[in-house]
């Protein structure tokens, strides 16, 4: 069964912005960003041009994993404000034509969650089967998933989904082992209750104005599920029930396999994040394409990208984000703002769904070797406070410096929104121009045609056409430090009108375009 024919129309021209709420903007001077802080910065986000926001988990939590350890799905964490603040944010965002998506941690809770506490009780109760417990008298030694032992007297071991303090919710096993009766089928009462509750949580927030969800580890729900067949069926059921009441809901999967996630009913998947090499070859690896001296070529990325898009075309979208809270920001290692301009030129003219991680639009840096915070470990350096201006704490908070959620980038020349707003050649203005161009140009949007122009294995540049019924663009990129000369064959290119360009000269003779590209250069031309 495939219940999904398409995705909400507005996604074609959407540009998402990801907000890590604790680091965005603090309005109550406790050193931690909050929801009223997002509300206050909506004018900025509207000016930037984005039209959808994904907020990392903002629910009650002991914050052992920055909120990915939920203790109450129905309540905003007091450090971020109240439910009313969130409803208000939705209303204010909608007035600006901006959608709000929450982070739904579907696969596990915190050990502090009252469901888990009740489930730890050896006496049978409503929550006994909400999590996956082995049988106390029959310890299991050889098992492919993480078993956390001796947590609750009188109970067996429980399965953890990520960190040990994140017990997996029980959505059942794809093929329960008959000799292990604690492995329940997906349609057993416990798993069905967990599913029902998840639907209830989603409908609760949708009824208060939220537009959709980014689902954490969406692939992880049914255990020992080869090809995720049962997990796909489970999400199809959930999506169908939610869409019956909220047809416009947007569902974004952290799955890492669009072929599966889109079939499961999701609209968008971060293909590049888990288990797929393409994002590494594009942005992350030492020898990736977007590294001035990396030597990488675009082919490896294209191979992965086209394999996935062929299987999902028209039914869902793939996101290539600038970064996220789990990955190094693009402004790391040897990159500069100019390198980022090439990257953003790609991200905002490629058909994939752009997700801008807060601060990447001004080139905030990944800060290496930061002390781990809330389970962040190496990810902590990507989660530092937003740099708004040159006032105290970069305008992020009026709290004492020592109270800040995380220390700021200590460098004197750290980029700020205020400085870059006023510089026409800044990265921020570059990103903004690209967003405006994308939103106003059907040919640059998600569903418009893409034609990559051929590259040889030794090529460090890349060029592609984007086309709609009414317009045509040529995009050329040279992320390497070396200048490049290239000839492109394009039928009837006509005059090339540069829209957003740096360091590129293009001469047209008939159907041949001769390109002279400086090191680290880009061009978006209207044909």
CB of 162 to ligand NOJ, least distance (A): 4
Nearer of residues 152 and 253 to ligand NOJ, judged by Cβ: 253
Instruction: Supply the DSSP symbol for 160.
Output: B
The binder of ligand NOJ chosen from 217, 304, 318, 323 (CB under 6 A)? 217
Q: Which residues pair with 147 in a beta bridge?
A: 159
CB neighbour list of residue 69: distance below 8 Å, 6 or more residues apart: 61, 62, 63, 105, 108, 109, 110, 111, 112, 163, 165, 166, 375
Three-class DSSP category at 36: helix
Distance of alpha carbon 135 from its chain centroid, rounded? 38
Q: Would you give the binding string for ligand NOJ spanning residues 241-280, x where CB under 6 A is met? A: -------------x--------------------------
CB of 68 to ligand NOJ, least distance (A): 3
**CB neighbour burial string for 264-293, b if at least 16 within 10 angstroms, e if fewer:** bbbbbbbbbbeebebbbbbbbbeebbbbbe
Asked if 160 touches ligand NOJ (CB under 6 A), the answer is no
516 φ/ψ angles, rounded to the nearest 5 degrees: -115, 110
CB of 325 to ligand NOJ, least distance (A): 6
108 φ/ψ angles, rounded to the nearest 5 degrees: -160, 165
Closest CA to 19 of 361, 492, 446: 361
Question: Within 10 A of 139 (CB to CB), how many other CB atoms are there?
Answer: 12
Nearer of residues 70 and 239 to ligand NOJ, judged by Cβ: 70
CB of 254 to ligand NOJ, least distance (A): 6
Q: Are 18 and 54 in contact (CB under 8 A)?
A: yes
Distance of alpha carbon 497 from its chain centroid, rounded? 33
> Alpha-carbon distance 389 to 341, whole Å?
21
Nearer of residues 41 and 325 to ligand NOJ, judged by Cβ: 325
Nearer of residues 93 and 104 to ligand NOJ, judged by Cβ: 104
Asked if 211 touches ligand NOJ (CB under 6 A), the answer is no
Q: Phi-psi bin for 500: left (phi > 0), alpha (psi -120 to 50), beta?
A: beta
The binder of ligand NOJ chosen from 129, 216, 259, 339 (CB under 6 A)? 216
Asked if 374 touches ligand NOJ (CB under 6 A), the answer is no
Q: Are 426 and 6 in contact (CB under 8 A)?
A: no
The binder of ligand NOJ chosen from 59, 68, 73, 366 (CB under 6 A)? 68
CB of 525 to ligand NOJ, least distance (A): 37
Nearer of residues 275 and 295 to ligand NOJ, judged by Cβ: 275
The binder of ligand NOJ chosen from 162, 171, 331, 396 (CB under 6 A)? 162
Asked if 331 touches ligand NOJ (CB under 6 A), the answer is no
Nearer of residues 99 and 108 to ligand NOJ, judged by Cβ: 108
Residue whose C-beta lies closest to ligand NOJ: 68
Asked if 357 touches ligand NOJ (CB under 6 A), the answer is no
Nearer of residues 68 and 473 to ligand NOJ, judged by Cβ: 68
70-74-75 Cα angle (round to 5) = 80
Q: Would you give the binding string for ligand NOJ spanning residues 105-134, x where CB under 6 A is met? A: x-----------------------------
CA atoms within 13 A on the CB side of 337: 18
Nearer of residues 289 and 405 to ligand NOJ, judged by Cβ: 405
The binder of ligand NOJ chosen from 43, 245, 326, 423 (CB under 6 A)? 326
Tokens of 69: 């350890």
> Alpha-carbon distance 260 to 10, whole Å?
23
Number of residues lying near ligand NOJ (CB under 6 A): 9
Nearer of residues 54 and 522 to ligand NOJ, judged by Cβ: 54
Three-class DSSP category at 191: helix
The binder of ligand NOJ chosen from 26, 34, 65, 230 (CB under 6 A)? 65
> Alpha-carbon distance 385 to 397, whole Å?
9
CB of 392 to ligand NOJ, least distance (A): 29
Nearer of residues 107 and 354 to ligand NOJ, judged by Cβ: 107
Closest CA to 482 of 451, 461, 501, 466: 461
CB of 215 to ligand NOJ, least distance (A): 10
Q: Are 438 and 412 in contact (CB under 8 A)?
A: no
Task: Report the interface residues with ligand NOJ, using CB under 6 A.
Answer: 65, 68, 105, 162, 216-217, 254, 325-326
């Amino acid at each position: 069964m495939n219940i999904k024919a398409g995705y909400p129309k507005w996604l074609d021209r959407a540009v998402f912005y990801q907000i890590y709420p604790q680091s965005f903007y603090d309005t109550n001077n406790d050193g931690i960003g909050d929801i009223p802080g997002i509300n206050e910065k909506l004018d900025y986000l509207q000016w930037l041009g984005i039209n959808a926001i994904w907020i990392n988990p903002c629910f009650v939590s002991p914050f052992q994993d920055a909120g990915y350890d939920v203790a109450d799905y129905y309540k905003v964490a007091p450090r971020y404000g109240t439910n009313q603040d969130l409803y208000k944010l939705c209303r204010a965002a909608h007035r600006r034509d901006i959608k709000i998506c929450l982070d739904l941690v579907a696969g596990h809770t915190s050990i502090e969650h009252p469901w888990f506490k009740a489930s730890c009780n050896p006496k049978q109760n409503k929550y006994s089967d909400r999590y996956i417990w082995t049988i106390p008298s029959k310890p299991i030694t050889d098992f492919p998933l993480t078993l956390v032992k001796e947590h609750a007297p009188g109970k067996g071991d429980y399965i953890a989904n990520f960190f040990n303090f994140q017990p997996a919710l029980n959505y059942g096993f794809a093929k329960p082992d008959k000799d292990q009766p604690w492995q329940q089928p997906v349609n057993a009462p416990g798993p069905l209750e967990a599913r029902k509750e998840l639907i209830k949580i989603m409908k609760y927030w949708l009824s208060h104005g939220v537009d959709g969800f980014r689902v954490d580890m969406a692939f992880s729900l049914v255990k020992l599920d080869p090809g995720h067949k049962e997990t796909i069926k489970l999400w199809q059921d959930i999506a169908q029930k939610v869409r019956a009441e909220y047809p416009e809901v947007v569902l974004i999967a952290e799955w890492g396999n669009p072929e599966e996630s889109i079939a499961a009913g999701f609209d968008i998947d971060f293909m590049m994040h888990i288990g797929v090499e393409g994002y590494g070859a594009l942005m992350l690896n030492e020898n990736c394409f977007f590294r001035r001296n990396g030597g990488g070529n675009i082919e490896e990325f294209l191979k992965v990208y086209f394999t996935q898009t062929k299987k999902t075309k028209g039914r869902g979208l793939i996101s290539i984000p600038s970064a996220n809270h789990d990955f190094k920001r693009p402004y790391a290692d040897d990159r500069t703002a100019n390198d980022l301009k090439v990257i953003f030129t790609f991200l905002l003219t490629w058909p994939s769904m752009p997700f801008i991680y807060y601060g990447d639009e001004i080139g905030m840096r990944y800060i290496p070797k930061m002390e781990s915070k809330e389970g962040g470990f190496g990810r902590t350096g990507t989660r530092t406070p937003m740099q708004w201006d040159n006032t105290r704490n970069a305008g992020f908070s009026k709290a004492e410096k020592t109270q800040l959620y995380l220390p700021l980038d200590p460098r004197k020349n750290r980029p700020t929104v205020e400085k870059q707003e006023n510089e026409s050649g800044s990265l921020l203005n570059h990103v903004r121009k690209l967003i405006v161009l994308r939103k106003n140009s059907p040919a640059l949007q998600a569903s418009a045609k893409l034609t990559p122009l051929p590259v040889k294995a030794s090529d460090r540049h890349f060029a592609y056409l984007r086309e709609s019924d009414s317009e045509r663009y040529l995009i050329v990129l040279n992320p390497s430090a070396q200048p490049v000369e290239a000839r492109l064959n394009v039928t009837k290119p006509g005059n090339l009108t540069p829209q957003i360009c740096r360091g590129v000269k293009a001469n047209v003779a008939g159907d041949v375009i001769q390109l002279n590209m400086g090191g680290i250069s880009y061009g978006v031309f209207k044909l």
